[in-house]
Amino acid sequence: MDHEPSFRESVDLMVDRAMNAIGLDQGTASAIKSCNSVLQVRFPVRIRNKIEVFTGWRAVHSDHRLPAKGGIRYAPYADQDEVEALAALMTYKCAIVNVPFGGSKGALLIDPAQYERDELELITRRFTLELVRKGFLSPATNVPAPDIGTGQREMAWMADTYKQLQPTDINYIACVTGKPVHHGGINGRVEATGRGVQYALQEFFRHPQDVAAANMQGTLEGKRIVVQGLGNVGYHAAKFLSEEDGAKITAIIERDGALINEEGLNVEDVYQHIIQHHSVKNFPGARFEENGKSVLEMECDILIPAALESQITLENADRIKARLIAEAANGPLTYGADEILHKRGVTILPDAYVNAGGVTVSYFEWIRNISHIRFGRMQRRHDEMRGHQVASMLETITGTKVAGHHRDSLARGADELDLVRSGLDDTMRTAYQEIREAFLEGDGIQDLRTASYVVAIRKIARTYLDVGVY
Ligand code: GLU
């Protein structure tokens, strides 16, 4: 390959590899691959006494399961090709982690940094109106979530706009996920994608054979990690991996340069520095490298691209020195880069698996919303009581007092955050095991990305076969 295909073509080429490996028939293959519908809207908003026209998209890649699910990004570089590629990734992502949703994605062409809060609210509410009117947003059919440039705030505006338009929809609050917790959101959603990256890596390191194939050994403890992007995903992943698993974050790459410290950076300190100074420059205790992108090529064990798509390309793939790449962003490697790195024996944990923690916890939030009850509300005190009963029984049998901290941990009923983390951890572990099993089948399945797509495609194809095409 001597030229880079577009992002959407890149995803399709990767999927083709998996379809060929399992000999999927052409008809089913194109049914799965094609993007079902794309909405493009243009709408005017009066800003600072001038009328501005905004362009947005919402693509539904698949609706074999409903609702179709996926984030909405606000970015000055968005286009339809990108939205379709991201919607396709959502389809495969949901299938890999057994989230019963179709795949969708949206974007608004805007640089949010150029607008005030009230202006963004106006624009978001107007965009939501377009999506609802055209049937591209509802709890039953299409449920957006945060992505690059959007967060809890935008989701709250969207949910509120939908509620005003559909006041009789009893499930209105489930029309978007990633909402603030006091507004129908779920505990643990903000950190979910980063947490999922951590759980994915933890599961990878539970398989010594896989670790050895990536030319490493042992656990995450002491592993040198380079992270690109300290946004919501990169920040949480880096923080958890360094603070809880003992990994060393040896470099953080941001828009305006990179910070390097072979002894390991304090992620929270870097994050606070960025919040204060809007830049990584002048961070004490680290070497600054102006050419941030070149730091992707730094010697390390694990590289976590957690920023934008197409960061590792035909141009720099040859110089990447990481043993393992965990794709926390969507599409950070182009198809050509993926081929080069595979040939060079670099293990790649693909985006459709690694960053699926976000949509997994979105699924939990959606269930919480349509069941109208917080997880753990019915059982928590009951579990607590049972714990005390067990402790007291132990005391009666043994004649010794159960130490206070043992009694407390035994009697602690799980709250919503405990349950969300447990559900996410289980999801990430199970998905890796399914991917691994497919990988071990061999034949045309030569890497974990192809194996992930095989897992997804088999599940999606089954729904076409079971239900038929009409
Ligand atoms: N935007 C996130 C993603 O790319 C989350 C999607 C969701 O929660 O629906 O996976």
For residue 231 and ligand 1, the question of a CB distance below 6 A is answered with no
What are the pLDDT digits (tens) for 71-116?
999 999 999 999 999 999 999 999 999 999 999 999 999 999 999 9
Q: Within 22-151, where are the H helices?
A: 26-33, 80-96, 117-133
Q: Please give the pLDDT value at position 98.
A: 98
Q: Which of the residues are catalytic? A: 105
Q: Which amino acid is at 329?
A: A
Q: Within 310-415, where are the H helices?
A: 335-343, 351-354, 357-371, 380-398, 404-410
Tell me the CA–centroid distance for residue 386 and ligand 1, in Å: 37
pLDDT band, very low/low/confident/very high, at 1 (cuts 50, 70, 90)? low
Joined together, the tokens standing for residue 346 give 């670099």
What are the pLDDT digits (tens) for 347-378?
999 999 999 999 999 999 999 999 999 999 99
Q: Please give the pLDDT value at position 43.
A: 98
Q: Please give the pLDDT value at position 322.
A: 98
Alpha-carbon span 394 to 341, nearest angstrom: 56
pTM of this structure: 0.96
Tell me the CA–centroid distance for residue 419 and ligand 1, in Å: 20
Whether the per-residue pLDDT at 469 is higher than 70: the answer is: no
Q: Please give the pLDDT value at position 466.
A: 81
Whether the per-residue pLDDT at 161 is higher than 90: the answer is: yes
Q: Which atom of ligand 1 is nearest to the CA of 144?
A: 9
Q: Which atom of ligand 1 is nearest to the CA of 330?
A: 4
For residue 56 and ligand 1, the question of a CB distance below 6 A is answered with no
Q: What is the 3-state secondary structure (H, E, C) of 260-283?
A: ECCCCCCHHHHHHHHHHHCCCCCC
Q: Please give the pLDDT value at position 464.
A: 83
For residue 369 and ligand 1, the question of a CB distance below 6 A is answered with no
Mean pLDDT of all residues belonging to the chain: 97
What are the pLDDT digits (tens) for 104-154?
999 999 999 999 999 999 999 999 999 999 999 999 999 999 999 999 999
Query: Taking a C-beta distance cutoff of 8 angstroms, is the pair 449, 53 a contact?
Result: no
Q: Considering the chain, what percentage of its residues have pLDDT values greater than 90? A: 97
Q: Considering the chain, what percentage of its residues have pLDDT values greater than 70? A: 99
The residue to mutate among 90, 354, 427, having the most atoms of ligand 1 within 8 angstroms of its beta carbon, is 90
For residue 351 and ligand 1, the question of a CB distance below 6 A is answered with no
Give backbone dihedrals phi and psi of 302, rounded to 5 degrees, phi first.
-125, 130
What are the pLDDT digits (tens) for 289-309?
999 999 999 999 999 999 999
Q: Please give the pLDDT value at position 458.
A: 97
Q: Which atom of ligand 1 is nearest to the CA of 143?
A: 9
What are the pLDDT digits (tens) for 311-335?
999 999 999 999 999 999 999 999 9
Whether the per-residue pLDDT at 379 is higher than 80: the answer is: yes
Whether the per-residue pLDDT at 465 is higher than 90: the answer is: no
For residue 147 and ligand 1, the question of a CB distance below 6 A is answered with yes
Let me know if the fold of 38-184 is the same as that of 186-376+414-470.
Answer: yes
Q: Which CATH class is domain 38-184?
A: alpha beta
What are the pLDDT digits (tens) for 207-252?
999 999 999 999 999 999 999 999 999 999 999 999 999 999 999 9
Q: Please give the pLDDT value at position 264.
A: 98
Domain boundaries defined on the chain: 38-184, 186-376+414-470
* Residue 454 Cα distances to 22, 134, 322, 441, 459, angstroms: 7, 34, 25, 11, 9
Give the closest residue (by CA) to ligand 1 atom 9.
70
SS3 316: coil
pLDDT band, very low/low/confident/very high, at 470 (cuts 50, 70, 90)? low
What are the pLDDT digits (tens) for 34-54?
999 999 999 999 999 999 999
Query: Taking a C-beta distance cutoff of 8 angstroms, is the pair 149, 123 a contact?
Result: no
Whether the per-residue pLDDT at 467 is higher than 90: the answer is: no
CATH 3.20.20.70 fits 186-376+414-470, yes or no: no
Whether the per-residue pLDDT at 272 is higher than 80: the answer is: yes
